[in-house]
Structure 1
Amino acid sequence: MNKIFEVPLYPYERSPDQDANEAVRHPVVIVGAGPVGLGAAIDLAQSGVPVLVLDDNDRVSFGSRAICFAKRPLEILDRLGCGERMVEKGVEWELGKVFFDERQIYEFNLLPEKGHRRPAFINLQQYYFEEYMIDRLRELQAEGAPIELRGGNKVAAIGNHSDHVKMEIDTPDGPYELEADWLIACDGAGSPIRRMLGMEFVGQVFEDNFLIADVIMEADFPTERWFWFDPPFNRGQSALLHKQPDNVWRIDFQIGWDIDREAELKPENIDRRLKEMLGEDVAYELEWSSIYTFQCRRMERFLEGRVIFAGDAAHQVSPFGARGANSGLQDADNLAWKLKLVIEDKAPESLLRSYDAERVYGADENILNSTRSTDFITPKSDTSRIFRDAVLDLAEHHEFARPFVNSGRLSVPCTYDGSPLNTPDALDGPARARPGSPCPDAPLGKGYLLDRLGGQFTLLTIDAEAPDQIEEDGITATRLALSAKDDPTGALAARYLGDAASAVYLIRPDQHVAARFPEYDEAQVRQALRRATGKE
């Protein structure tokens, strides 16, 4: 059994701030050293913004917790300098299978097309994920980046002022005070900071529970996502099977609403369920178990004065579909570049309202899909169950019925349609690369497009002329000049040109499209840059 979650990776150490005569102010304080908080911290530090991370813990999360990480978050992690290690350790998968009773009714491929650096998904235990991000944080510290992580520092009180946030911090040596120009709350679904500010979730709690059991076993199941409706080993309910590294398998059992949680978590009861599924002769070791309740909720707004909420602190969805950590990493990706520009006085504070607008839009999209998944997986009436079972029967033999089967619509990146930062589309190009969308990857010789975009404004030209740089009101966009001939597979042209002969794209630092044109026009690009930074 892996014991990494028992090892303090950032133990408490007394900081000079505790001995200061008055509260020391930091540009950015992040509360929470989970995937989202660490992602935001690394992103800010890489771009030169000083950031302090506080966590009342001193080690990575106990148990596997989040395990499914999608293609777009992996691309974000590549930009943060820790994607490769996670993919190397993780279990890659693209194929899912759906079962009804004892029979397989169909399978699906989440990334059937070629020309992407990253797979549709990897499975990786959250403790590895956090460990690798902490290692990346230490690398940045060694390189002199302005980033600090303090374990054993718990935020006990907060004051949200017009130009700063004041905090009281509890430590083993007693309390001290801190100030921050900006506070990012990544302190989880139970967010103490959210409660301190008197802010609540709105949404729905579904009357159903699932038991998670992570077991270590030698098994010959393939590296695929298997989902059962009404299996013989969990009759009338559903189940899920996933492979993780180190021969750890994630098994989820639907167990209903009116349950005795304490009884369900007893080893003998978990053992009974596992033996009914796997057979009496299968040897395994239980690594971790938990029970979760389906919830689809979010805060009404993710921005409250100088406090910004991200990840589970801002929104919650049911786990099927892998929308929790994946959407949280996209929160951090959306926020970091905007906050950097505001701190550097290169953009107005109102730019941060676009974080709220875009990520609330993303949360609502996730909640919609998660709610639909929950309704299909856990029908609450006889009529709903009859409909679901009929769809499953049809799906076995008829392809038209398969889109109606919903075993958890899996996480896809959000396209910010209608964002105030988008310039109206001026190119009759592929819909997947329209303004607001994340840039689709494409092969370029020995590398890939997303590796060339980095984390700054980029003027991507494909068979079009443009200057090497353009600067507008302190914001610089650097040209990446490409030709459709750079990709003999045709993926670059298919994903960015369509039927057009040329194209000019303005790409945001988070690799989302801000604007696109058939050719370079200086006035249009300058206006698009102003709009993408909240100045229009």
Structure 2
Amino acid sequence: MLSTYTYPEFAFVRPPELDGVPSHRRPVVVVGAGPVGLSAAIELAQLGLPVLMLDDDKTVSVGSRGLCYAKRALEVLDRQGAGQPVVDKGVTWNVGRTFFDTEEVFHFNLLPEAGHERPGMVNLQQYHLEEILLKRVAELPGIELRWLSKVTQVEPHGQGASLCVSTPEGDYTVDTDWLVVADGARSPIRRLLGLEIEGKVFQDRFLIADVVMKADFPAERWFWFDPPFHRGQSVLLHREADNVWRIDFQLGWEADPEEEKKPERVIPRIQAMLGPEHAFALEWVSVYTFQCRRMQRFRHGRVLFAGDAAHQVSPFGARGANSGLQDVDNLGWKLKLVIDGVAPEALLDSYSDERCVAADENILNSTRSTDFITPKSATSRLFRNAVLGLAREHAFARALVNSGRLSVATHLSGSALNTPDAEPFEGWMAPGAPMDDAPVDLPGGAGWLLRQVTAGADAHFTLMVFGEGALPVLPTTPVPVKLLRVLPAGSAPRDGAVVDREGLIARRYDGRPGTAYLLRPDQHVAARWRHLEPAPLQAALRRSLCLH
């Protein structure tokens, strides 16, 4: 029980299969109703695909667990109709500060430049996020969610998979064309299929203590190395919703997890940190270890893995749930086009290829952070402390301080779906890059660029063209392509166009008159040209769909 949150309990509804009603074959089954599974169901339903969801529990996650949701994840949630409730409920922040002993040695700003709708990060307990996503699920007619339904057997075959589902009132089977597995780090389905997950388990333990208190600390991320209230270890502080604060204490590998969770051990640690002037109440306590590992491939025939079921990282950098939401963003439109017969199944191999690259990037950053935070040799600790000491006065050392490189979207620069530039461009919006946002003017008032680039129920691409110039006759394309013009500041807004209110789109995209960008349904750049011609556009689209 929590003092600030009451857990909902969702009723088991007896499925018709238990009463002899034949189970019809499902286009997609999603297993796991955590953030990634719920996001997957929403994404697919918005694309017009009916989804059956199965979860072996009857409530949302216990404890705050996942906490920090980065700008890119918020943009994904925006397209799924859940971004604004997350921002409204959560705690927005952009600044992180790192201390060595009692002195600040380093700070960063996740969003140093204005002109983005979403902040660098929002803190929100995972149970709140799941409840927001569940409300969105209830609004969509294409999702059937079955609680207390545990998958106990999976038999993949060439055209899908057969599942055995265990419930409180009996077992039944269901067949599906595609199975999306989002059942968490321990993934029963991954184990049922005998699939390996490889990597490194770190020999250290951290205590999470969620405490309720009213404090005037700013909404920032604070990280201490060797503070006077917890010598020789590190501590992390975050503000959450409902006057809850998360404190992470490094314990060391030899700590007894059960002993460390006892209030008589936890409370003195927090009192030493906060001092007598801050009254608090314990809300939730847990001890965790962490690992950095992933599956070799995220696609196994018609079984697709996402989120922690596919890859895991340490919590330093908030790369777990954020990466899982980006998995869904990458997977949804591809699965839609494959099911519709527009693209070959090879397009789903690109899901695995691109998200394995993202997982490797996250694992590399997470491993480096963990090695810096928890050095395992005297030499590593000496180096770490020397860096922290020098960082007080020297900029070069600040760049070496690593208390967690926080989650950002992966640039898929090596993707086989990209069409390489044929002409020179400035800036970072190269093929494979996630789109930058910018403020725009619309016929109905002010808006944001990213909200004009959405997949739609047809998983269309977007052709973003700068200026008023005439377009060539566009070819017949394998998928719909929506035209979006970008007009210079001061232009009159009109349908099918946005006005670049502050000139940021032109600057960020090096958008001269006549420049054109082909944008994927997941808002990654597929191709760009200085002068658009029909044949290169068609070739780039076919490449993005694995039709070449």
TM-score scaled by length of structure 1: 0.96
Partner of 1:180: 176
Superposed, 1:66-85 pairs within 5 Å as 66-85=66-85
Partner of 1:515: 527
Distance in 1, matches of 2:239 and 2:178, equals 39
In the TM superposition, residue 417 of structure 1 has moved relative to its aligned partner by: 1.4
Distance in 2, matches of 1:86 and 1:292, equals 26
* 1:38–1:259 distance in 2 versus 1, CA, 3 Å: same
* 1:388–1:465 distance in 2 versus 1, CA, 3 Å: farther
Residues 11 and 58 in structure 1, CA contact (< 8 A), matched pair in contact too: yes
Q: Which residue type is aligned with residue 532 of structure 2?
A: Y
Residues 4 and 60 in structure 1, CA contact (< 8 A), matched pair in contact too: no
Q: Which residue type is aligned with residue 115 of structure 2?
A: G
Hey, which of these two has a bigger chunk of helix by percent? 1
Partner of 2:493: none
Distance in 1, matches of 2:204 and 2:427, equals 38
* 1:447–1:427 distance in 2 versus 1, CA, 3 Å: farther
Q: What number of residue pairs does the alignment pair up?
A: 529
2:294 is the counterpart of 1:298: yes
Distance in 1, matches of 2:474 and 2:289, equals 51
* 1:176–1:115 distance in 2 versus 1, CA, 3 Å: same
Secondary structure at the counterpart of residue 282 of structure 1: coil
Q: Which residue type is aligned with residue 466 of structure 1?
A: L
In the TM superposition, residue 23 of structure 1 has moved relative to its aligned partner by: 4.2
Residues 472 and 534 in structure 2, CA contact (< 8 A), matched pair in contact too: no
Could you give the per-residue CA deviations for residues 437-492 of structure 1, whole angstroms, max 9, x where no partner exists? 1111011121110000011310111125436975423x111100112432242211
* 1:483–1:429 distance in 2 versus 1, CA, 3 Å: farther
* 1:26–1:467 distance in 2 versus 1, CA, 3 Å: farther
Q: Which residue type is aligned with residue 177 of structure 1?
A: T
Distance in 2, matches of 1:469 and 1:219, equals 59
Superposed, 1:389-468 pairs within 5 Å as 389-445=385-441, 446-455=446-455, 456-463=460-467, 464-466=469-471
Partner of 2:381: 385
Partner of 2:364: 368
Where does the alignment leave 5 or more consecutive residues of structure 2 unmatched?
490-498
Partner of 2:96: 96
* 1:215–1:467 distance in 2 versus 1, CA, 3 Å: farther
Partner of 1:138: 138
Q: Which residue type is aligned with residue 64 of structure 2?
A: S
Q: Which residue type is aligned with residue 350 of structure 1?
A: A
Superposed, 1:68-217 pairs within 5 Å as 68-141=68-141, 146-217=142-213
2:217 is the counterpart of 1:229: no
2:481 is the counterpart of 1:481: no
* 1:21–1:135 distance in 2 versus 1, CA, 3 Å: closer
Where does the alignment leave 5 or more consecutive residues of structure 1 unmatched?
none
In the TM superposition, residue 292 of structure 1 has moved relative to its aligned partner by: 1.6
* 1:37–1:427 distance in 2 versus 1, CA, 3 Å: farther
Partner of 1:45: 45
Q: CA RMSD in A?
A: 1.5
Residues 24 and 177 in structure 1, CA contact (< 8 A), matched pair in contact too: no
In the TM superposition, residue 2 of structure 1 has moved relative to its aligned partner by: 4.9
TM-score scaled by length of structure 2: 0.94
Residues 484 and 492 in structure 1, CA contact (< 8 A), matched pair in contact too: no
In the TM superposition, residue 312 of structure 1 has moved relative to its aligned partner by: 0.2
Distance in 2, matches of 1:469 and 1:65, equals 49
Distance in 2, matches of 1:470 and 1:4, equals 55
Distance in 2, matches of 1:16 and 1:223, equals 49
With 417-426 and 183-192 compared, the bigger mean Cα shift is at 417-426
Residues 191 and 313 in structure 1, CA contact (< 8 A), matched pair in contact too: yes
Could you give the per-residue CA deviations for residues 210-230 of structure 1, whole angstroms, max 9, x where no partner exists? 111111111111100000001
Secondary structure at the counterpart of residue 239 of structure 1: strand
Q: Which residue type is aligned with residue 506 of structure 2?
A: A
Residues 465 and 519 in structure 1, CA contact (< 8 A), matched pair in contact too: no
Could you give the per-residue CA deviations for residues 169-198 of structure 1, whole angstroms, max 9, x where no partner exists? 001111010111000000000000000000
2:363 is the counterpart of 1:348: no
2:496 is the counterpart of 1:492: no
Secondary structure at the counterpart of residue 170 of structure 2: coil
